[in-house]
């Protein structure tokens, strides 16, 4: 006869026992540390990603691993956070945003910011860097901006992806989605099958590790924030707080770009929808 305890331990009956209680603890720690809500169907994913840590630490049981991160072992908590984030991204992902930037938003900013000659854009949840590099490539395509003060801030919670983003190196297949007009911003190495973002694009961007739920050191104002495919992992309350803070740090009538499955409906009334997941702050 299989006891209840054994059954629970066998939720995922593989190398390490992970009980319902372990998963609840993991879920709680993840929420506290990142705002990410892990639903039941993420159990297998969480198991797969964390077992590597258990092996590395020579820990046999998830309950012992939970003890470790609950007691705020800072180094391990950082590995844990990096393990549970989902970092899927691509160059010029949801390209209609970059088309809008090129055809409407930047020409508008060039007129509106003519006095200050300053542009600030934030890629919040930048993952491995494809999003901020896409933004910088569009900015660089405007010769009128040559003597302007133009900066892109790119931040993510996951320190591994920020390090990768900083390097600007990508396997050749990752750059397939870069439109032909922007390919000249990359250097190719056929031997290693790697592409490297050129310094002329990199110079626009500052990469930083930042938890969006913590206090922000930067003051803004930003002309635009890209926060795409990040809040899908957050609950309603966290979204409300975050979008309110975005409205505060955006310039008057600043722009907000969100992911294809994200909407501000019932989340914030401080933005007007321009369609296609593009929003403008209400004045
Ligand atoms: C799916 S990626 C989206 C990347 C890019 N914005 C895009 O749309 O292609 C989501 C990113 O949000 C980051 N993230 C999740 N929670 C975060 C938090 N609390 N603070 C900052 N970044 C967070 C993850 O580390 C991950 O790299």
User: Is the model's pLDDT at 7 over the cut of 90?
Assistant: no
Task: Say what the pLDDT of residue 74 is.
Answer: 85
Strands (E), the chain: 118-124, 149-156, 169-171, 186-189, 194-197, 205-209, 222-227, 250-258, 271-275, 278-281
Residues 240-249: tens digit of each pLDDT: 999 999 999 9
Mean pLDDT, range 37-65, rounded to an integer: 92
Read off the DSSP letter of residue 216.
Answer: P
CA distances from 169 to 91, 222, 260, 282 (A): 13, 27, 26, 38
Instruction: Name the percent of the chain lying above pLDDT 70.
Output: 95
Residue nearest atom 9 of ligand 1, based on CA coordinates? 89
Residues 6+ away with beta carbon under 8 Å from 3:
none
- Which one of the listed residues 22, 93, 120, 156 is annotated catalytic? 156
Residues 131-157: tens digit of each pLDDT: 999 999 999 999 999 999 999 999 999
User: Where would I find the H helices in 71-195?
Assistant: 74-84, 96-100, 106-112, 130-140, 159-167
Please identify, by atom number, the ligand 1 atom nearest to the C-alpha of residue 130.
Answer: 9
- Residue 86 Cα to ligand 1 midpoint, Å, equals 7
Question: Do the bridges between strand 186-189 and strand 194-197 make them parallel or antiparallel, or are there none, so unpaired?
Answer: antiparallel
Measured CA to CA, the distance from residue 51 to residue 15 in angstroms comes to 8
- Establish whether 49 is a catalytic residue: yes
Residues 6+ away with beta carbon under 8 Å from 268:
240, 243, 244, 247
Torsion region of 234: left, alpha or beta (phi above 0 gives left; psi -120 to 50 gives alpha): beta
CB neighbours of residue 237 within 10 Å: 10
Residues 13-24: tens digit of each pLDDT: 578 888 999 999
- Residue 229 Cα to ligand 1 midpoint, Å, equals 7
Question: Six-digit token pair at 265?
Answer: 């409906």
Measured CA to CA, the distance from residue 76 to residue 68 in angstroms comes to 8
Measured CA to CA, the distance from residue 40 to residue 42 in angstroms comes to 5
Contact 45, 23 (CB under 8 A): no
3-state class of 207 per DSSP? strand
CA angle 220, 213, 266 (to 5 degrees): 90
**Which residue among 125, 246, 257 has the greatest number of ligand 1 atoms within 8 angstroms of its CB, and so is best to mutate?**
125
**Which residue among 77, 85, 231, 256 has the greatest number of ligand 1 atoms within 8 angstroms of its CB, and so is best to mutate?**
85
User: Is the model's pLDDT at 11 over the cut of 90?
Assistant: no
Residue nearest atom 26 of ligand 1, based on CA coordinates? 87
- Residue 6 Cα to ligand 1 midpoint, Å, equals 36
User: Is the model's pLDDT at 229 over the cut of 50?
Assistant: yes
**Which residue among 94, 122, 127 has the greatest number of ligand 1 atoms within 8 angstroms of its CB, and so is best to mutate?**
127
Q: How confident is the model at residue 4 (pLDDT cuts 50, 70, 90)?
A: very low
3-state class of 21 per DSSP? helix
- Residue 124 Cα to ligand 1 midpoint, Å, equals 7
- Establish whether 156 is a catalytic residue: yes
Pocket of ligand 1 (CB under 6 A): 34-36, 85-89, 93, 125, 127, 131, 156-158, 161, 211-213, 228-230, 233, 259
CB neighbours of residue 179 within 10 Å: 15
- Residue 212 Cα to ligand 1 midpoint, Å, equals 9
């Amino acid at each position: 006869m299989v006891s209840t305890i054994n059954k629970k331990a066998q939720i995922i009956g593989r190398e390490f026992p992970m009980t319902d209680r372990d998963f609840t603890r993991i879920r709680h720690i993840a929420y506290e540390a990142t705002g990410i809500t892990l639903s039941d169907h993420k159990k297998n994913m969480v198991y797969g990603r964390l077992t590597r840590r258990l092996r590395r630490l020579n820990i046999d049981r998830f309950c012992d691993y939970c003890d470790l991160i609950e007691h705020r072992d800072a180094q391990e908590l950082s590995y844990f956070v990096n393990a549970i984030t989902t970092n899927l991204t691509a160059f010029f992902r949801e390209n209609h945003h970059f088309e809008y930037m090129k055809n409407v938003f930047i020409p508008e900013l060039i007129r509106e910011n003519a006095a200050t000659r300053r542009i600030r854009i934030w890629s919040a949840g930048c993952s491995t860097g494809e999003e901020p590099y896409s933004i910088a490539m569009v900015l660089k395509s405007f010769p009128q901006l040559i003597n302007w003060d133009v900066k892109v801030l790119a931040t993510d919670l996951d320190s591994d992806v920020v390090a990768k983003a900083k390097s600007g190196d990508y396997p050749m297949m990752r750059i397939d989605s870069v439109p032909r007009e922007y390919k000249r911003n990359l250097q190719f190495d056929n031997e290693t099958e790697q592409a490297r973002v050129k310094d002329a694009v990199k110079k626009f961007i500052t990469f930083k590790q930042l938890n969006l739920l913590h206090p922000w050191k930067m003051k803004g104002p930003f002309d635009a924030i890209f926060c795409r495919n990040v809040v899908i992992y957050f609950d309603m309350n966290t979204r409300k707080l975050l979008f309110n803070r975005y409205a505060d740090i955006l310039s008057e009538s600043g722009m907000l770009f969100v992911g294809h499955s994200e909407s501000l409906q019932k989340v914030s009334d401080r933005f007007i929808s321009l369609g296609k997941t593009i929003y403008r702050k209400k004045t």
